[in-house]
Structure 1
Amino acid sequence: MASKTDPDEKRPSSRDVSSQDIDEFASSIPLIDPHAEKRLLLKLDMYFVPIIMLVYLTCFLDRSNIGNVKVAGMPEDIGASAKEFSTAVSIFYATYVAFEPPWSVMMKWMTPRILLTGLCVVWSLTTICTGFIHNVAGLYAVRLVLGACEAGLFPVMNLYLTMVYKRHEQGIRVSYLFVCTAISGAFGGLLAFSILKMDGVAGYAGWRWVYIIEGICSFVVAPIIWFGLPNDPSNAYFLTEEEKAMMKVREAQRAQYMGSEEFSWEEIWISLKDPKLYLSGCIQFCQDILLYGFSTFLPSIIVSMGYTSIEAQYLSIPVYIFGGLCFLALAFVSDRTCIRGPFLWLSNIPGIVGYILILAPTSNAVKFLGTFFCAASTYCGPGLNLTWLNVNIAPHYRRATAIGVQLSMGNTAGVVAGQIYRKSPYVLGNAFSVGALGLAQVIIAAKWFYLRRQNEAKERIASGQREDTRKVQSGDRAVDFKYHL
């Protein structure tokens, strides 16, 4: 019995092949016992997922802890005004946005192990150095370096997942990365709550210890990346010979999706002209307004409701955990059904309700309840949208370009978030966020109709009802490559 695969992942993509060639190609691929494949997937998850989650967890802690130290006296200690501190939050994304596309395209050349380990070492040292700054200029400098290094992590991690998993297996794995975002928010608040008690130890303020200790934790992760993530997952050190053979079969089944290993400027150009990329990038921008505004300023938002800064640290923990669990559940269902757009659209509705509750003249208890609704959309939206792009772009370099550009478009929202969340009670930031969600709903619907129309056009070409005059007919443009809707 054959294992479950997408039919569009196991066919050749050449525009000149006949139906007989396609059938011969499909029949030449060995069958995998589905129970053995499930055991293989479990083993892959057990080895790869904890490492990937740990790396992203520490990375996001280093990025978002600026929200925790804001309420612990950092701006006052370095003489930063509210405007200068907002600029420090935003300036991170200047280098972050600029470096995402090149890092993702360079992954194959540099190899995942060298690239990720090197970036981890640099951003860890930068985080430690942040604990020793004394002025605004120093804060700007470390944020720029941090942005340039962390820019490579998320796109490279996403590409690495596509090297291991099939299209219908990716949503739940991408969700693990965004769950780390939620965990880092919860753990970051708890960790900050504990570390801030070190205020005055060795003559350093508590917020300085937050940076020093979290930077050291990130540095320890670097050797775990080096030894834990093989450049070629199909020949991973923990796989048996039988499992390595299954990985080769899975590669053959995904031949069209993975494509050539050779660098191609043509594939990059095809990706840059793809409407799917820009529709996805606009959605990601809207969703990231929430992600960066909410995750960076949640402690401050809670303080604006009347709670103390210490209370804000631990009250944020259940909010983050709830958001992460919502995404895990929704990503699981999305993978099982291969439905992306409708779940993305539905996941934004709680966020709209949540921000309305926060903005309305309600009690603090109701406003706090609203943060849970916001958390559901904050983590579900960006992750589901990225998965929707991942599974609908092929082959590798076309996908690498699309992921890098899409994330760059989305992460410009970080610049906006730093400017709209300036002054308590953050009416402008919250209003802007709910408006971004409304705009995202419109673009999601537009992308869904576009992809459905493309699938219908492919069906007409395949049935002979229409001549195929398209300039690009390979990869995801092949008639037997069905876009996930």
Structure 2
Amino acid sequence: MTTATDGAPLELKNSLKEDPERPDEIAGEAMDVVLDPKKEQKLLAKLDTAFVPIIMLTYLSCFLDRSNIGNVKVAHMPEDINASESQFSTAVSIFYVTYVLFEAPWAVLMKKLTPRNILTCLCIVWSLTTIFTGFIESVGSLYATRLILGACEAGLFPCLNLYLTMVYRREEQAKRVSYLMSCAAISGAVGGLLAYGLLHMDGIGGKAGWRWVYIIEGLFSALCAILIWFGLPNNPAEAYFLNEEERWMMRVRNEQRRKYMGSDKFSWEEMRIALSDPKLFFSGVIQFCQDILLYGFSTFLPTILGGMGYDSLMSNVLTVPVYIWAALIFIAIAFCSDRYSKFASYIFAANIFGIIGYILLLTVKNTAVLYFATFLIGITTYTSVGLNVAWLNVNIAPQYRRALEIGLQQTMGNCAGIVAGQVYRTSPYVLGNAFSLGSLVVAQITVAGFGFYLRRENRVKEQIASGEIEDTRRIRTGDAEVEFKYIY
């Protein structure tokens, strides 16, 4: 028998191709293949180099277009369109009305519409909407653009998240989700710097500086649509930059995680199972609590700093170190989470820093200490949100069940955006900060409960596998299979 360079028979390489007539046989053959670790690492590096920059830039532009409303507030945008404080808060919140309504549908539709089509079209529409926001003259126009922006951006995170599951194994995902979520933090830093620079364009072309913020950032998002179309193939296993052996390795990896990915066929039964899954509700409650911080902190940080006595330009500049710090910490923690396959303990530990930070914001008057508190909150804000997403990712199977649960988790979580816009009303945001502190306490209780639940489920599976107890569970497919071990 002829042998390939990595030790696998060439006949096996030829057999591991798409063949709907014998999927079980192919999966069995793939399970016996041990890929060369060095070649697999080289493959992962190539995938990261090709996909991660596009995914990061796209999510960066998305978060910029969503959160720049906080940067322009200190540049007199509300006054220019005659918006009251309550109307501006409504504009912040109204984005999440369409956002939460469209997340789950976009996630479920991605397979049918294909990743390239759905992501490119959504990116084009929200780019144009952002550009047009630079020309609005009334509160009604701001409401309209925020609603359209929410409907389009709703599909980005769940679809990109699902795309990562098409490329990487369970134990490789937390790190890649960290790249994605760190862009939320990086967008804060970039947004602060961009706002600082673009606000200096005040008066150019007869337009206020805040209008240039929307126009320039919208044009940047339009460029991302081009990158998506040419850079994200619908089938990552057949990407243009992979050679023949690497494509074979991708097919092997796909077959080895077939139980995780599941069937490509849509199933209403999987939708029903997803809707009754306790893991969805644990994760959704955690996401809601953590998103209170994400949207309150990322949207209103410039104004929080303004309340400390800084002017509008300096308020934007001082956000930059906070966001860079938050992004670096998140990536470091996500690397550890991937390496040790732990989520609950890392989320719980990260939240402690946020609790301390909000206590300082609520009780201390010293400006230096208050600024230090924002760094503590930054550790929690992005780390816990991102790890919670990855935590659900790796514990749900098969594919359509995962798609709906990810979409619904994001829907539940992003309802926090509606709440954040209402509790963060007037500086120094005592109500908003107190609400965020309470949300963190609830999150801690739920994280602990979720971890104990998954641990108990694993113990039940072990007892069933050893014959200690009879399997009387109602659901036994997908992630409920005895061989599927939950990660907590």
The equivalent residue for 1:373 is 376
Alignment partner, residue 444 of structure 2? 441
* TM-score after normalising by structure 2: 0.94
Preserved CA contact (<8 Å) 1:57 1:180 = yes
The aligned counterpart of 2:332 is 329
Deviations 1:19-55 (A, max 9, x none): xx99x93775322100100000000000000000010
Partner of 1:105: 108
Aligned match of 2:207: 204
Partner of 1:274: 277
Match for residue 249 of structure 1? 252
Aligned AA for 1:442? I
Range that drifts further, 73-82 or 217-226: 217-226
CA distance in 2, matches of 1:220, 1:285: 32
Amino acid in the other structure paired with 1:167: R
Amino acid at match of 1:109: K
Q: Which residue of 2 aligns with 1:16?
A: none
Structure 1 residue identity aligned to 2:361: I
Q: Does 1:452 align with 2:455?
A: yes
Residue 264 (1) aligns with residue 267 (2)? yes
C-alpha distance in 2 between matches for 1:439 and 1:178: 22
State the one-letter code of the partner of 1:374: I
Q: How does 1:311-460 map to 2 (within 5 A)?
A: 311-460=314-463
Taking structure 1 as reference, are residues 321 and 40 closer, same or farther at Cα in structure 2, changes over 3 Å only?
A: same
1:60 has 2:66 as partner: no
Corresponding residue for 2:182?
Answer: 179
User: CA-to-partner distance for each residue in 1:148-203, whole Å, 9 max, x for gaps?
Assistant: 00000000000000000000000010001111001100000000100000101111
CA distance, structure 2, for counterparts of residue 31 and residue 241 of structure 1: 17
Distance (whole Å) between structure 1 residues aligned to residue 196 and residue 372 of structure 2: 22
Residue matched to 2:40: 37
Alignment equivalent of 2:310, drawn from 307, 312, 315? 307
3-state secondary structure, aligned to 1:412:
helix
Distance in 1 (alpha carbons) for counterparts of 2:347 and 2:400: 26
The Cα offsets for residues 184-239 of structure 1, whole Å up to 9 and x where unpaired, read as 00000000100000101111100001001110111111111000000000000000
Preserved CA contact (<8 Å) 2:131 2:216: yes
Structure 1 residue 474: deviation in Å?
Answer: 1.2
Displacement of 1:101: 0.2
After the TM superposition, which residues 276-295 of structure 1 pair with which residues of structure 2 at under 5 Å, given as runs?
276-295=279-298
Work out the CA distance in 2 between the residues paired with 1:31 and 1:177. Answer: 30
Q: Deviations over 1:276-304 (max 9, x none)?
A: 00110000000000000000000000001
Query: Residue 86 of structure 1 aligns to which amino acid in structure 2?
Result: S
In 2, the alpha carbon distance for the partners of 1:102 and 1:418 equals: 24
TM-score by length of 1: 0.95
Q: Describe how 1:73-222 pairs up with structure 2 within 5 A.
A: 73-222=76-225
Would you say the 8 A contact 1:2–1:34 is kept in 2?
Answer: no
CA displacement, residues 411-438 of structure 1 (integer Å, 9 cap, x when unaligned): 0000011011110111111111111001
Query: In structure 2, do the counterparts of structure 1 residues 289 and 27 end up closer, same or farther at CA, with 3 Å as the change threshold?
Result: closer
2:467 maps to 1:464:
yes
- Asked whether 1:474 is paired with 2:470, we answer no
- Report the Cα offset of residue 309 of structure 1: 1.1
Which digits, 9 at most, give the CA deviation of each residue in 1:71-95, with x for residues without a partner?
0000000000000000000000000
Letter in 2 for 1:245: W
Q: Distance in 1 between matches of 2:405 and 2:37?
A: 32
What letter matches 1:413 in structure 2? A
Classify the secondary structure of the residue corresponding to 2:105.
helix
Q: Distance in 2 between matches of 1:380 and 1:196?
A: 30
Alpha-carbon distance between aligned partners in 2 of 1:351 and 1:359, rounded to the nearest angstrom: 12
Q: In 2, Cα distance between the equivalents of 1:460 and 1:252?
A: 27
Distance 1:424 1:256 in 2: 51
CA deviation profile, 1:107-161 (whole Å, cap 9, x unmatched): 0000000000000000000000100111100000000000000000000000000
Cα distance in 1, alignment partners of residues 197 and 324 from structure 2: 19
Cα deviation, residue 2, structure 1: 10
Partners of 2:80 and 2:87 in 1: CA distance? 13
The two structures, once aligned, show a CA RMSD in angstroms of: 1.4
Question: Is the 8 Å Cα contact of residues 31 and 255 (structure 2) preserved in structure 1?
Answer: no
**Matching residue within 20, 23, 48 for 2:51:** 48
1:173 and 1:28 map into 2 onto residues whose CA distance is 24
Find the residue that maps to 1:117 and give its secondary structure. helix
Q: Confirm or deny: 8 A CA contact 1:303 1:309 kept in the other structure.
A: yes
Conservation of the 8 A alpha-carbon contact between 2:30 and 2:256: no
2:230 to 227, 231, 236: 227
> Could you say what secondary structure the match of 2:241 adopts?
coil
- Which letter maps to 1:452? R
Show structure 1 runs of 4+ deviating over 4 A: none
Are the counterparts in 1 of residues 89 and 422 from structure 2 also a CA contact under 8 Å?
A: yes
Residue of structure 2 in register with 1:17 after alignment: none
